[in-house]
Amino acid sequence: MIDTPRPRRLRATPALRRLVAETRLHPAELILPVFVREGAGAPVPISSMPGVLQHTTDSLKRVVADAAAAGIGGLMLFGVPEHKDAVGSGATDPDGILNVATRVAVAEAGDALVVQTDLCLDEFTDHGHCGVLDADGYVDNDATLDRYREMGVAQAAAGSQLLGLSGMMDGQVAAVRDALDDAGYANTPILAYAAKYASAFYGPFREAVQSSLQGDRRTYQQDPANRREGARELDLDIAEGADIVMVKPAMSYLDVLADAAASSPVPVWAYQVSGEYAMIEAAAAHGWIDRRRAIEESVVSIRRAGADAVLTYWALELAEWIR
């Protein structure tokens, strides 16, 4: 008599399930996005992202210390400036909030974790787009690359240990790589947000960075309907010299992430974005889902799809749970 297959045998106890788990989380694979607000006298809560704050440079020091103690892999810094203009001047000002915050974080972190910076103009422009606009209000790709070159050098000079190119301009990786090399920062690596989609799940982030966006970003971020295009974008960024590539958002694009993980010769990361965070927090606040289980399951799913590391607003909390 042939016995009925019994896969359930390996699910019988917590110890067995843990022993045969195919995907595990580790604090070193988690990266915490952090917002630093210029002129703030105290941390400012973000209403659409419960538990997430706009930090001061002083409270940033505490976050860095907590992150180092938790053993997470790094921080991704976003600046929230008091003043904006058409070309995002604050992004390249050595005394601009992001560059100041970078110096603070690097000094506090030492070699305990990787201090990373968002390289994009959207937080710094009065129109809220990721680049410079032409006379017709269209984002000028090549003029924007000139600003990205300046921004990359400014961030590297401030001590950023990894530049996160998130603007989705064509040729941005090659442009910033050349600028870094020419300025003596050949050892500064680039994280390319290669497959970044024009997603509705970025909504709460707009509050977090006090975005002044007019219109949308569909002319440069990818169409959510397109999977093969994501693979093409990754190939282009790798060819231009990206050291790491990113898929963003994460949870709605696990197919794109899995494709990238299967083909990429460089590490592949994913960003669990603000809307993904907010949905789980809102449902849990209403008692509709088990908060901890939902958080853990969501991040495990991103790792299972192939992400080598995950940017998530739960990085510190998760690290404490899984240590």
Binding site membership for 5-aminolevulinate: which residues?
Answer: 206, 217, 274, 313
Distance (Å, whole) CA 279 – CA 286: 11
179: amino acid identity, one letter: A
- Residue positions in the annotated binding site for Mg(2+)? 233
- The helix/strand/coil state of 103 is helix
Active site residue 248: yes
Q: At what angle do helices 172-182 and 228-240 cross, to 10 degrees?
A: 20
The sign of the dihedral angle between the CA atoms of 126, 131, 134, 137 is negative
Distance (Å, whole) CA 230 – CA 148: 22
**Active-site option among 147, 248, 264, 281:** 248
* Tokens encoding 45: 């809560």
Distance (Å, whole) CA 37 – CA 51: 16
Torsion of the alpha carbons at 218, 222, 227 and 228, rounded to the nearest 10? 120
**Active-site option among 127, 147, 196, 303:** 196
Q: List, by residue number, the catalytic residues.
A: 196, 248
